[in-house]
Amino acid sequence: MSQHQGRHFLQIPGPSPVPDRVLRAMDMPVIDHRSSAFAELAKAVFHGCQQIFKTAGPVIIFPSSGTGAWEAAIVNTLSPGDKVLMVETGHFATLWRQMAARWGIEVDFMPGDWRHGASPAEIEAKLKQDTAHTIKAVMVVHNETSTGVTSRVGDIRAAMDRAAHPALLLVDTISSLGSVDYRHDEWKVDVTVSCSQKGFMLPPGLGFNAISDKARAAAKTNKMPRSYWDWEEMLKPNAAGFFPYTPATNLLYGLREAIAMLLEEGLENVFARHKRLAAATRAAVTHWGLEVLCQEPAEYSPVLTAVLMPPGHDADAFRKVTLENYNMSLGSGLSKLAGKVFRIGHLGECNELTLLGALTGVEMGLSLAGVPHRAGGVAAAMSLLEERTHSNASAQLRVISS
């Protein structure tokens, strides 16, 4: 592999690039995690997380990966032998199912084609059939990182309400929180699972559970063994700004700064930026003559775009050519999509110029790897971004002149 100058383009859908501002915030001496200075830091991030999750309830922060936060959601709310409803939306929904099964949970896994999100209508029908209320939870991946498909959690909650079913709602927002509109309280989600290395723009190492009163009540009566993941053991010291064990102190410094960045931009502006960059990416893919994996426009992910390779061409071979020649990492296809798709991440600290640089690398990589395509995808993306910039500028001028 040749030596490259300049920054590596990390265009996978997480971990996302860590902004310089966040890196500087973490560049601090380790402090006493039993001190008043630490308590001030912890209380600030607890409050900030509530703003990002859009909840008035507690957000628990574990020193863990997102997988750990998955496990915490399961062991605090469910008991061995409980039945849950899940939907096969992709690789990560499948992994969450496997974890639940290891804990002795019975999973009704609704089959899917990995090109659509969870169907609110099908979930409603399942719940209406469950007149004995044997289903204890509905578990959904909000943004399926393996496919670039976003399920409509608000519609799923409405479907659950129409079915008048008491099941808990557990949602994985690992790749969506801080990048895609999400409303824990408004959508009456009972446990929202997330982590640090996607929309929060941090290195891996923090897992999150936002929890409802209903979920906390379930945790006080369920029969699952737990220790490290126990919510109540976290919440007791959290109230004073502390943790029951050593926290990831310097990541919390970074988290405080990342939250500040998101709130300074404004969450609605953050969500609009991600939608704009995703639309430009799809414009490029369509112009190239390639196919976006997601088939439902209402479910297009603002976080990433998964692209199907033409028959006879291997996505991993293309990714290798792009990495070796242009110093850019693209996401691979996972499990049943291995070799069939590549994934372009456009989340976190990503703007128009960053995206256009990434799309340029993809277009050059397609050419060098001999993948059939129509040149000019970058120009198509640029045209879309320019149109939206002009529209925004015109709107701002109208506001100023009025």
The token pair at 380 is 């198509």
State how far the Cα of 141 lies from the Cα of 218, in Å rounded to an integer: 21
**Three-state SS across 305-348?**
EEEECCCCCCHHHHHHHHHHHHCEEEEECCHHHCCCEEEEECCC
Residue numbers in the known binding site are 343
State how far the Cα of 396 lies from the Cα of 393, in Å rounded to an integer: 5
Exposure string over 113-127, b if 16+ CB within 10 A, otherwise e? ebbbbbbbeebbebb
Exposure string over 216-249, b if 16+ CB within 10 A, otherwise e? bebbeebebebeebbbeebeebbeebbbeeebbb
Beta strands 59-63 and 206-211, pairing class: antiparallel
Q: Comparing C-alpha atoms, which of 169, 172, 159 is closest to residue 119?
A: 159
Residue numbers in the known binding site for substrate are 343
Kindly report the backbone phi and psi dihedral angles of residue 16, in degrees, each rounded to the nearest multiple of 5, phi listed first: -90, 160
Q: SS3 for 16?
A: coil
Residue with token string 């949970």: 105
Where are any strands of DSSP class E within 89-196?
Answer: 106-110, 135-141, 143-144, 149-150, 168-172, 191-195
Reported as half-sphere exposure (CB side, CA atoms, 13 A), residue 344 has a value of 34
